[in-house]
Chain A
Amino acid sequence: MGAGSAAEPSAARPAHLARRYVACALVLLLFTAAMVVMERSGLRRTWIASAFLLMPVVLYASIGLACRTNEAAQYFVAGRNVPAIYNGMAIGADWMSVASFMGLAGLLYANGFGGLAYVLGWTGGFCLIAFFIAPYLRKFGQYTIPDFLGERYGGRLPRAVGLLVTAGCSLMYVVAQIYGIGLITSRLTGFGFEMGIFVGLGGVLVCSFVGGMRAITWTQVAQYLILMIAFLVPVVWLSIKQTGNPVPQIALGQQLKKVSERERELREDPREREVIAAFRAESEAYADRLHDVERSLGDERARLQRRLDVASAQGSSIAEPRAARRAVQELPKDAATAREVWSRARDIDRERAQPLAGMPPQADLFREGAPGGNERQGPQRSRLDFLALMFCLMAGTAGMPHILARFYTTPTVAAARRSVTWALFFIALLYVCAPILAVLVKYEVLTSVVGTSFAELPRWILEWSKSEPSLVSVVDINHDGVLQLGELHITSDILVLAAPEIGGLPFAVSCLVAAGGLAAALSTADGLLLTIANALSHDLYFNIVHRGPPTDRQVAVSKVILLFVALVAAYIALQRPAGILLLVTPVFSIAAATIFPALVLGVVWKRANRWGASAGMLAGFAATLYYLLTRQAGIAAAADAAAAALWFGIQAESAGVFGVPVAFAANVLVSLLTPPRAEDGPWVDALRQP
């Protein structure tokens, strides 16, 4: 079974390996400490940032080059000799994307309790993998997920459908990673976002291109260590700073209580109420303008022109006419643009005209009120929505092709099972820290950032709002010269990157966190790109289009496809799609409703046949996509989205909760209606034996 080649020297001596990786972690810690000290003695910030960008990339590149290969078994499944604990770490890094590293804590900061659906959902799914999928995939012992579907069910249809979903899901997911890479690299280096993407892409390709799964696996172990250290250092540091003890779990209870108290104060604060009233007035003004766009555009143009004339005539300063001229120039050119710009501004202002800048209190549980109805997009989830999201994330985890493919790389079935446990353990370590980081940062924002005067804003606000005003912005809307919570806008995606600065930690820690985020993004992007390229080359080219090739050509074709996919993903990321999590969650719903049922039924139910599996995947995909497209604000046309009420108050992103039952039902029904295949029974019997 499988193609276990000669024992790989680096994998054959685990003790030797362990020593090397422990040394790697220690060097990183010492390096950070040295940078903190050198920063105090005046080392320039650009030097520190470059060092933190270069050091890990050099490490990844050297591991990647040391593991370069052209052998199929090495390239596709790392020679099937990755020990369980290292496979666990590699899966951890593969799994923890920018969405986990940056998005999760940001979401917990912005949405409070609702974000915990992600903490549970993204860990609980691994139990399903352990019980029903991983050991059987390893027993099967080929290369990709469409491979399993193709062999289990026979024929080209299940393989083709599986391929479509694998490539589609992974592509959407990899775009989110590359977007994150662009964000972090531009932050670290001061390059533009576009440049950041291409620098990051080089980092991805150096591993996956030269060494395939083998290089990726050993690089990901290092990336796991880096991202874990990068996440823990600020959490522990903030915990010591705020409560005096280094165990973040102890800080959680204390600080959550203080955050809740402070939130109560801020809700009553008269200045916060002024801010809310000001935003509400602004949003109403926009709404008024929208009643008759043509006329208000004319009025507005006349008003601004008058202001410009007055300002130029007075000639008191240069700044004033310039600002007035810019206001005239920035006015929408025609009625259609004006309608779009103003309705967006109205919605943003309406959102900000909420207590606590629209964030639910950190310790509040669910949104009150009956489920259903048209109420949507509130940051707080209803209970049913919370459960639905958790379900989608779990089932989606168990259908995520780039994770499942990792279980082909262990030496035995038992090692595949063991590596699920390890992976889950390594993932849980970071996930239990994310809610704590969110609370600690919120405490910092509510107590020390809110209330500072606009004359002496902290450096991070100035820098971020200058370089990326869409991510961080401040406006003194009630003109009192003091920053209120309502006047500060932080996109939740960047919260973790900004956390060290918000907490007043040294700049070197910010760079460490950025390096960790980069490790998370690179490792996931590596795994995803390889999954797409392998699926396209192995399943599409060599199993559907052109059958039975020599293996050396297989690797070459895979590498070419990899390069092509990477460029396509980078191109899409350059279009700057919306928030990272907004892209990621629907992917889980789709994977949950397609791959997951086909794999599970393929193992537990012999009677499932190729027609059932194909029908199940297609029906699940269609149902999920239908709900997603008609209910997702921003995707669906605004008018339609308003007309289509949510079912049971479940948000569009959790569409999988409808798609999964549809997929199972379609699979079972169609399987029973069509004749069984004779080979299915013995094939599954063999799969189930140790």
Chain B
Amino acid sequence: MSDPADDPQANDSHWRAMRRVAMGLTLVWALLTFAPPFFARQLAFEIAGAPAIVWIAAQFGPFAYVVLAWLYERRASRLEQQRGDRAG
């Protein structure tokens, strides 16, 4: 690995911040993934001709994942920038 751990404390806090973001978004991801199919029967009411659960699973779900990945990307880049500013 090229860059040595210069300041252990800053390194550690950076990693912890990154982990917090990842874990938080993983929680959202898990809810988004497993809750709607679990409650599918309750979500069987219709919106514009199709059951709500079909809309969620077939249309909103995949794009919600895109949004999650994008949110992570934004947060992580900001954290890295802060880390870079502090270090340098």
Question: What are 26 contact pairs spanning A and B, CB under 8 A?
Answer: A116-B57, A119-B58, A120-B37, A120-B62, A124-B29, A124-B61, A124-B65, A128-B26, A130-B72, A130-B73, A131-B72, A132-B22, A135-B76, A250-B48, A363-B50, A363-B54, A365-B40, A365-B53, A417-B77, A420-B73, A428-B62, A431-B62, A435-B54, A682-B5, A686-B1, A687-B1
Please, which residues of chain A bring their CB within 8 A of the CB of B61?
Answer: 119-120, 123-124
Given A120-B62, A414-B80, A686-B3, A257:B38 Cβ within 8 A: no
Least Cβ–Cβ distance between B63 and chain A, in angstroms: 6
Residues of A within 8 A of B (CB): 1, 113, 116-117, 119-120, 123-124, 126-128, 130-132, 135, 139-140, 249-250, 252-257, 363, 365-366, 383, 386-387, 390-391, 394, 413-414, 417-418, 420-421, 424-425, 427-428, 431-432, 435-436, 604, 682-683, 685-690
| CA A428 to CA B61, docked complex, whole Å | 9
Please, which residues of chain B bring their CB within 8 A of the CB of A418?
Answer: 73
Given A383-B37, A414-B77, A689-B3, A130:B62 Cβ within 8 A: no
- Write the B38-51 contact mask toward A (1 if CB under 8 angstroms, else 0): 10110010011111
Please, which residues of chain A bring their CB within 8 A of the CB of B68?
Answer: 127, 130
| CA A604 to CA B54, docked complex, whole Å | 35
Please, which residues of chain B bring their CB within 8 A of the CB of A139?
Answer: 1
Partner of A432, one of B2, B18, B41, B62: B62
Are B18 and A123 touching (Cβ within 8 A)?
A: no
Seed contacts A126-B69, A127-B69, A128-B29; 19 additional CB < 8 Å A-B pairs? A124-B29, A124-B61, A127-B26, A127-B72, A130-B69, A139-B1, A252-B49, A253-B49, A363-B51, A383-B38, A420-B73, A424-B66, A432-B63, A683-B1, A686-B1, A686-B5, A688-B14, A690-B14, A690-B84
Least Cβ–Cβ distance between A532 and chain B, in angstroms: 28
| CA A428 to CA B60, docked complex, whole Å | 10
The majority secondary structure among interface residues of chain B is helix
Given A686-B1, A689-B3, A119:B57 Cβ within 8 A: yes
Please, which residues of chain B bring their CB within 8 A of the CB of A257?
Answer: 49-50
Please, which residues of chain A bring their CB within 8 A of the CB of B83?
Answer: 689-690
Please, which residues of chain B bring their CB within 8 A of the CB of A387?
Answer: 34, 37-38
Least Cβ–Cβ distance between B33 and chain A, in angstroms: 5
Are A689 and B5 touching (Cβ within 8 A)?
A: yes
- Write the B67-88 contact mask toward A (1 if CB under 8 angstroms, else 0): 0111011001100100110000
Chain B residue total in the interface (Cβ 8 A): 47
| CA A682 to CA B50, docked complex, whole Å | 54
Least Cβ–Cβ distance between B80 and chain A, in angstroms: 4
Residues of B within 8 A of A (CB): 1-5, 8, 11, 14-15, 18-19, 22, 25-26, 29, 33-34, 37-38, 40-41, 44, 47-51, 53-54, 57-59, 61-63, 65-66, 68-70, 72-73, 76-77, 80, 83-84
Partner of B33, one of A120, A249, A604: A120
| CA A132 to CA B5, docked complex, whole Å | 20
List of 10 A-B pairs having minimum Cβ-Cβ separation, nearest first: A253-B49, A686-B1, A428-B62, A690-B80, A253-B48, A435-B58, A116-B57, A131-B22, A123-B62, A257-B49
Are A686 and B4 touching (Cβ within 8 A)?
A: yes
Are A417 and B65 touching (Cβ within 8 A)?
A: no
Closest to B4 in A: A686
Least Cβ–Cβ distance between A140 and chain B, in angstroms: 8
Are B15 and A253 touching (Cβ within 8 A)?
A: no
Please, which residues of chain A bring their CB within 8 A of the CB of B1?
Answer: 1, 139-140, 683, 686-687
Closest to A366 in B: B40
Please, which residues of chain B bring their CB within 8 A of the CB of A383?
Answer: 37-38, 40
Partner of B69, one of A113, A119, A363, A424: A424
Closest to B41 in A: A365
| CA A135 to CA B33, docked complex, whole Å | 23
Given A1-B1, A383-B38, A432:B59 Cβ within 8 A: yes
Are A421 and B73 touching (Cβ within 8 A)?
A: yes
Given A120-B57, A686-B4, A131:B49 Cβ within 8 A: no
| CA A548 to CA B14, docked complex, whole Å | 35
Partner of B62, one of A119, A131, A132, A414: A119
Are B65 and A689 touching (Cβ within 8 A)?
A: no
| CA A683 to CA B4, docked complex, whole Å | 9
Please, which residues of chain A bring their CB within 8 A of the CB of B33?
Answer: 120, 124, 390, 394
Please, which residues of chain B bring their CB within 8 A of the CB of A685?
Answer: 5, 8, 11, 15
Partner of B11, one of A253, A420, A688: A688
| CA A130 to CA B15, docked complex, whole Å | 16
Please, which residues of chain A bring their CB within 8 A of the CB of B47?
Answer: 253
Please, which residues of chain B bring their CB within 8 A of the CB of A394?
Answer: 33
Closest to A253 in B: B49
